[in-house]
Chains A and B, each alone.
Chain A
Amino acid sequence: MSHFSTIKSNNKITNPELLAESLQELGWNGVIYHLEAQPMQDYYQVRGEKSESQSEANVIVPWQQNKRRCNSDFGFLKQDGEYVLIADEMDTRSLQNRIQELQKLYNQKTAAAMEANVVATAQALNKGTPIVERTEVDGKIQLKIAFSNDIRQHNRLQQQTIRR
């Protein structure tokens, strides 16, 4: 019996550290990740004017350090395990155009982090020495993992079956 799981990210952003890294690599300055969402300032508030806007985000890109590229603070807020863009309407259109670029870089970082995580998990499990075979097929990384304990048990069962 095989067990097959599809764990699609569907281009969702779920890791805030990788998100912050990606934003920084794309040239956004002063990006900060907050475990608890923090308030952001809209177009009027960053200019010292009053506004009733009360947006917040976990990963914030401050306008103060990115004045040439945005009109106010913007950020990403955690909702149902996914980080979604929160931006002032003055920035929404221009940022949506940049999201594809951000998503691509984030996906690359996610793929690398997934591989490292899988290998580390295999080594940390108390199931005997792991055997890890890595191949690349059509741009996809395939990791084949087996554990010596599982193989020994499998071989024992095979021998018992043969003896009957």
Chain B
Amino acid sequence: MSIQPNQPHIIMTIDPQGNITSEACNYPSVEGVCQGEQATAAFEESLAAEGLIPPVDRIDRQYKPSAASRQTQQVQSQIQQ
């Protein structure tokens, strides 16, 4: 079974320098809380517990819309034009 692009999933990317990024895709928001952040938290805590990354309260976080919502935004802006 393969992961479909529109299904909720997490992408962890590790480079040769030992830098790691995590991205949670297609997770819904529940009561204003992005479930994606909840999904990656367990991984971040485990990595921090092993001393492989700094403590989780020092992680730099950025938010970006999913591909699906970006597509929706593009369609909406085209309609408005």
Contacts and interface: CB of A to CB of B under 8 A. Distances in A.
Given A1-B27, A3-B61, A133-B2, A117 B46 contact: yes
Interface in B15-39: 15-29, 34, 36-37, 39
Contacts of B53: 7, 9, 14, 114
5 contacts: A1-B65, A5-B40, A114-B12, A142-B14, A153-B8
A111 B13 CA distance: 10
Interface of B: 1-3, 7-29, 34, 36-37, 39-40, 42-44, 46-47, 50-55, 58-66, 69
Central interface residue in B9, B17, B28, by most chain A CB within 10 Å: B17
B27 A12 contact: no
A5 B60 contact: yes
Chain A residues touching B, range: 35 or more
Contact of B54 (A7, A17, A154): A7
Given A118-B47, A143-B12, A146-B10, A6 B18 contact: no
Is the contact region of chain B dominated by helix, strand, or loop, or is it mixed?
Answer: mixed
A131 B4 CA distance: 11
A92 interface: no
A14 B22 contact: no
Contacts of A54: none
Of A4, A108, A141, most B-chain CB atoms within 10 Å: A4
Contact of B15 (A3, A140, A157): A140
Contacts of B24: 2-4
Nearest to A133: B3
Contact of B64 (A2, A120, A121): A2
Given A140-B16, A154-B26, A114 B47 contact: yes
A106 B52 CA distance: 11
A12 B48 CA distance: 13
Given A1-B36, A144-B3, A7 B51 contact: no
A4 B22 CA distance: 6
